[in-house]
């Protein structure tokens, strides 16, 4: 908020609206001003906005006649919205960094395990074989699609708010546009027309933040399920005291996955709050924008928490390839039933599968004894390398998409 007031003073002096020497005093005071935040917060409840007590406290610290030129031409919402935009610019840059770390780790994981066979699961039940590298690529794909959208939304939200009393910059006369241009350049914010009652940029950023958190939560859920001892395929990186239980010393809980999952469950409501705040009344609404700094703070922090947690998990993820093979074998070849049904009529395939289940035999043995295929064809039918379809090509495509997303400009 102090940075906004300093930039306003400098830009106003440059446009000839206030004396240059007074602008210098205001700017230097803003750089070293101190505030009783608790007192300002209490007064803000009476004032209805944080800006009024803030400006009053700042004005008391400005010596001489310069104090009367503080805040000239601006309104309370200009200060709070621009301050929020400045905070969001820093926060979203951090989130982009965390998302990039996560994506890089996933791309490496997908490449490393491109040929690691495992059981695919649909509706929580055994399905057809996949590779773990393909699964990691499917975690990466939505991140590759979403990161450019998030960057764009963050850039749009980092906008200067300067409109004055009703948004037309009437107090600044013909100098308003020049002052806004200079302030935007000074603060490193985007220059747009007044957005007092147009909250679409914040709603869009909120939605994109929620999507990133949801992407992180999805992979956290998958990893947590694979960490169950009866599955045993994955484990979070270990550390002293991590994932312990206060009551059960034997437990190894998915502690980092919990962080991503709790964020994923929390952010949809926060994003919907921002969507509901698009309906501000007239030129300045009541009860919408006033709370957005709280909503966005929680939303951006939750999203960053989820991304950071999963970046840490994926970088140090422990992959038990033997458990993956064992879980595949435990199905007695039934995971190849789709391949079988592509070579036979559905009725014949169903009969062979039912026989394998009834006799508790490996499906391959039943198929071999059926005489429907030469032995070499049976081997190919149950070869994991043939059972994963276009998984390898998809991995390479997603890795390329991630490289492109990583380089994309806002």
Instruction: Give the three-class secondary structure for 131.
Output: strand
Kindly state the tokens that stand for 127.
């399905």
| Strand partners for 118 | 130
H-only helix segments in 239-318: 255-276, 292-315
Q: For residue 158, which of 186, 182, 191 has the smallest C-alpha distance?
A: 191
Compute how many other C-beta atoms are within 10 angstroms of the C-beta atom of residue 246. Answer: 6
HSE toward the beta carbon, residue 83, CA cutoff 13 A:
21
Catalytic hit among 170, 238, 245, 408: 245
DSSP state of 70: T
Element (H, E) at 106: helix 76-112
* 12 vs 19: CA distance, rounded Å: 8
Catalytic hit among 151, 199, 204, 284: 284
| Strand partners for 319 | 234
Active site residue 284: yes
* 293 vs 274: CA distance, rounded Å: 10
End-to-end CA distance of the chain: 25
Active site residue 68: no
Contact between 406 and 135 (Cβ < 8 Å): no
Kindly state the tokens that stand for 175.
């100098």
Q: For residue 233, which of 241, 244, 225 has the smallest C-alpha distance?
A: 225
Count, in order, helices (H) and strands (E) of the chain.
16, 4
Question: What are the DSSP E strand ranges found in 272-369?
Answer: 318-319
Contact between 354 and 334 (Cβ < 8 Å): no
Kindly state the tokens that stand for 268.
């949809």
Kindly state the tokens that stand for 337.
């039933």
Compute how many other C-beta atoms are within 10 angstroms of the C-beta atom of residue 191. Answer: 15
Q: For residue 151, which of 213, 192, 96 has the smallest C-alpha distance?
A: 96
Active-site positions?
A: 245, 284
């Amino acid at each position: 908020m102090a940075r906004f007031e300093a930039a306003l003073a400098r830009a106003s002096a440059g446009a000839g609206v206030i004396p240059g020497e007074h602008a210098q005093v205001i700017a230097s005071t803003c750089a070293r001003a101190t505030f009783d935040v608790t007192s300002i917060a209490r007064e803000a409840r009476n004032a209805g906005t944080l800006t009024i007590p803030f400006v009053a406290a700042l004005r008391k610290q400005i010596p001489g006649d310069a104090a009367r030129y503080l805040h000239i031409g601006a309104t309370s919402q200009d200060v709070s919205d621009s301050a929020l935009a400045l905070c969001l610019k820093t926060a979203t840059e951090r989130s982009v960094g965390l998302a990039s770390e996560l994506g890089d780790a996933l791309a490496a994981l997908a490449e490393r395990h491109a040929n690691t066979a495992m059981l695919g699961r649909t509706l929580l039940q055994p399905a057809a074989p996949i590779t773990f590298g393909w699964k990691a690529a499917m975690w990466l794909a939505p991140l590759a699609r979403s990161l450019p959208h998030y960057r764009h939304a963050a850039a749009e939200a980092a906008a200067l708010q300067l409109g004055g009393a009703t948004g037309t910059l009437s107090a600044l006369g013909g100098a308003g546009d020049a002052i806004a241009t200079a302030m935007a350049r000074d603060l490193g914010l985007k220059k747009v027309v007044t957005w007092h009652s147009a909250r679409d940029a914040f709603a869009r950023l909120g939605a994109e933040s929620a999507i990133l958190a949801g992407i992180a939560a999805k992979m956290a859920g998958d990893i947590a399920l694979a960490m169950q001892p009866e599955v045993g395929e994955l484990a979070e990186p270990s550390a002293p005291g991590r994932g312990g239980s206060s009551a059960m010393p034997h437990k190894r809980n998915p502690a980092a996955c919990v962080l991503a999952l709790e964020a994923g469950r929390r952010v949809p409501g926060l994003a919907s709050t921002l969507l509901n705040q698009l309906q501000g009344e007239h030129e300045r609404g009541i009860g919408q924008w006033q709370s957005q700094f709280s909503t966005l703070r929680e939303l951006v922090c939750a999203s960053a928490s989820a991304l950071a947690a999963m970046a840490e998990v994926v970088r140090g993820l422990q992959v038990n390839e033997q458990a993956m093979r064992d879980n595949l074998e435990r199905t007695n070849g039934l995971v190849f039933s789709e391949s079988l049904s592509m070579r036979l009529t559905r009725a014949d395939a169903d009969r062979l599968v039912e026989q394998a289940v009834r006799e508790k035999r490996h499906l391959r043995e039943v198929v071999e004894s059926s005489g429907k295929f030469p032995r070499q064809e049976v081997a190919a039918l149950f070869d994991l390398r043939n059972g994963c379809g276009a998984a390898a090509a998809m991995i390479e495509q997603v890795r390329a998409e991630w490289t492109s997303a990583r380089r994309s400009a806002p």
